[in-house]
Structure 1
Amino acid sequence: MAVVLSAIARTKFNSYKADIARVNQVENVRDSFAVQPVPEQKIIAAYQQAADFLKLINMFPVDNAKGQKIGMQVGTTVAGTTDTRQTPRKPTPVGSLDLLDEYDCTQTNYDVSYYWSLLNAWKHHPNFKAMLQAMVIKAVALDKLCIGFNGLYRAPTSDRVANPLLQDVKKGWLQKIRDVAPEQHYEGIDDGTGEKVVKIGAGNEFKTIDGLVEYGIEEYIAEQHRDSGLIAICGRGVLSDKYLPLLNTVQDPTEQLAARTIYANKQLGTLQAMHVPKFPAKTILITTPDNLSIYTQSGTLVRSISEQPEWDRAVDFQSVNEDFVVEDYTKTLLIENIEVQV
């Protein structure tokens, strides 16, 4: 049975579209339009506010689709001496200098639909327009995290059923490390079955996850970055492997309080541990959040909102040219295939 968009919902939805048309200086939103610079900046800022981890990383606007990375990472030591009687001083370049890893902003679609039944259900909410906008912003923000941590490649046409973690939308940060800086990727040794694994526990090289993390810092992170606010971003299972034995024990009230305090200040080795939505299980990424970026090509946020009565809905087509960038690979270590053995 067809659903009819109620008069109240239509009035509010039309007002929502009129607001978008006005701030973007277009007659209507049915025809595709490039979002104006000021609203574009506000939308990007809203993405960051909608997901806690996005607040910590960089979201840089860039003019060109391709180019050199712009992160202000030092990347090397710069101090030195020069006998200028013999040779001229040689300034050390700072920032990203890896010409083999230029950014490449390609189109990502963030298309959504609003069924009449949803708009009808919200019609009496005084903040109808804000709710609709917040829902879309939240969905896009979480998808950016999902791509950043799970994206493997860019398919001509992505398949959400086959790749529910958006693996085929775009290369994310972890895949960039695997491809560009394999020396910053530790996935363990062959366990005899052809699969690599990092075994943790008695009788293994690493007795604890803490030991693994400290080893990783000392052996893989460039010396100038070891005291620069590194954190351990981890997936499902890593923290529970460490803290479950502490919490899953009958204790007196004092011990319970101590255990909860320890868990509240979660650490892996000497680093703050951070669990982020959509991050792969049994995986740790050691870096600083500001070493991760999303570059958005200015002027490429394109939008179009139209009705599809044959589907009892409206559609909001949104696309943007973007890329997920690791600024300095020497400031990263990706550890995968972690297996804690009891």
Structure 2
Amino acid sequence: MQLNAKAREFLNQYHAGLCSSYDQQDAGRWFALTDPKETQLRDALLESADFLKMLTVADVDQLQGQVVPVGGSGLYTGRVADGRFRKKVGVSGNDYKLVETDSCAALTWQLLSVWANAGDENEFFQRVQEFTNLSFALDMLRIGFNGTSVADTTDPVANPNGEDVNKGWHQIVKEWKEGQQIITDPVVLDGDGKGDYVSLDAMASDLINSKIPAQYRSDPRLVVLVGSDLVAAESFRLYQKADRPTEKIAAQLLSDSIAGRTAYVPPFMPGKRMIVTTLPNLHIYTQRGTRQRKAEFVEDRKQYENKYLRNEGYAVEYPELYAAIDESAVTIGAPVPPPEE
């Protein structure tokens, strides 16, 4: 499909506006962002994805270094006989490493033509901008939950969730102290009591009591991140047995609270994974001064490509405040018994 005249006019105006907003003559060439523009782009990405705003997303100066402390759990009050009580805030030996990260939000001629016919110029601009920012922001989350390695050349077909783009939070904790915070032994979630856990409440409670240090277990900031497959299985079980109003209410509130903790079903997190942590404990860093942008018409591919290049990476501030059951360990429902010989 060709780019219709209305869409081409709107897109030309959008492109000109993009140049102007970044003080550039030609957005079709790579250009670096100034400090205020870097902040503007970071804020736009945070605004486009609600879950991202709850994490620690920060700029750092170095390509690699020590994790930036934002204030974790622990005691900050006491006394000293000959002076003032103080607590040193820092994360000794917990490092981060950033890598080149390249994003491209491509809009096809067909989609742009549909958007142009569906509204006015302002609506068209908003859709293009929202699509671009949301694409970049969701990929940050997708890689954070699924990343396991850093490939020189990534393969999005074999690794559709960015598994080879960067090491995400789960992989970082897996490599910390021999993965002591991650349960990888097989467990069964079965509402009939035939497995290891009868409910998500039981699963989360065990995770907190076995993996989160005692002094942090009552921290009100602890939340439960739960995969969509686990929530679906638990909801089905509750509704199947919901012959009383209280059970129906429990099913409806499942995605809001688990084991007395606020619960979230994060985008792109593996469906059978469960995590207990504080959300600010999950960090995403971008190296200051490395953000580069480019937007261009690519006639050969019949699309408009919005590109974002930077050095970026992930970190966990306090690995001991990240406890998880790995998705590979979880079976939903009683396992099928082996056939008799």
Query: Is TM-score (shorter-chain normalized) higher than 0.5?
Result: yes
Q: CA deviation at 1:90?
A: 8.8
The letter of the residue matching 1:110 is S
2:322 maps to 1:332: yes
Inter-partner Cα distance in structure 1 for 2:156 and 2:207:
34
Aligned sequence identity (%): 26
SS of 1:64 mapped into structure 2: coil
> Is the counterpart of residue 293 in structure 1 residue 249 in structure 2?
no
Question: Please, which of 129, 139, 144 is the counterpart of residue 135 of structure 2?
Answer: 139
CA distances 1:103-158 after superposition (whole Å, capped 9, x unpaired)? 22212111122222222222242221111010111122221111011010111111
On the 8 A contact 1:116/1:314 being kept in 2, the answer is yes
Q: CA deviation at 1:270?
A: 2.5
Q: 1:185 aligns with which of 179, 182, 187?
A: 182
Q: 1:93 aligns with which of 88, 93, 114?
A: 88
Q: 1:170 aligns with which of 166, 169, 179?
A: 166
In structure 2, give the amino acid aligned to 1:304: K
Contact 1:73 1:96 in 2 (8 A): no
Q: 1:213 deviation in Å?
A: 2.0
The Cα shift of 1:8 comes to 2.7
Evaluate the alpha carbon distance shift between residue 141 and residue 268 of structure 1 in structure 2; reply closer, same or farther with a 3 A threshold.
Answer: same
Q: Which residue of 2 aligns with 1:122?
A: 115
Q: Where does structure 1 lack aligned partners over 5 or more consecutive residues?
A: 189-196
Q: Secondary structure, in 3 states, of the residue corresponding to 1:135?
A: helix
CA apart distance, 1:83: 5.8
Q: Which residue of 2 aligns with 1:21?
A: 19
After the TM superposition, which of the residue ranges 324-333 and 121-130 deviates more from structure 2? Answer: 121-130
Q: Using the alignment, how far apart are the partners of 2:267 and 2:6 within structure 1?
A: 37
Counterparts of residues 1-342 of structure 1 (less than 5 Å):
3-74=1-72, 76-77=74-75, 92-97=87-92, 99=93, 101-124=94-117, 125-126=119-120, 127-181=123-177, 182-188=179-185, 197-201=186-190, 202=193, 206-228=197-219, 229-249=221-241, 251=243, 255=244, 257-266=245-254, 267-336=257-326, 337-342=329-334
CA RMSD of aligned residues (A): 2.4
Query: Is this contact kept in 2: 1:76–1:94, CA < 8 A?
Result: no
Q: Which moved more, 1:15-24 or 1:313-322?
A: 313-322
Q: Following TM superposition, by how much is the alpha carbon of 1:76 offset from its aligned partner in structure 2, in angstroms? A: 4.5
**AA aligned opposite 1:313:** Q
User: Structure 1 residues 227 and 28 mapped into 2: Cα distance closer, same or farther (>3 Å)?
Assistant: same
Q: Is the 8 A contact 2:72 2:281 kept in 1?
A: no
TM-score (norm 1): 0.86
Local SS of the residue matching 1:323: strand
Alpha-carbon distance between aligned partners in 1 of 2:197 and 2:300, rounded to the nearest angstrom: 60
Cα distance per residue 1:14-33 (max 9 Å; x no partner) = 21111111121111111110
Q: CA 1:241/1:11 → structure 2, altered by over 3 Å: closer, same or farther?
A: closer
Task: Return structure 1 stretches of 4+ with deviation > 6 angstroms.
Answer: none
Please give the TM-score of this superposition, normalised by the length of structure 2. 0.86
Kindly state the Cα deviation for residue 302 of structure 1 after the two structures are TM-superposed.
0.8
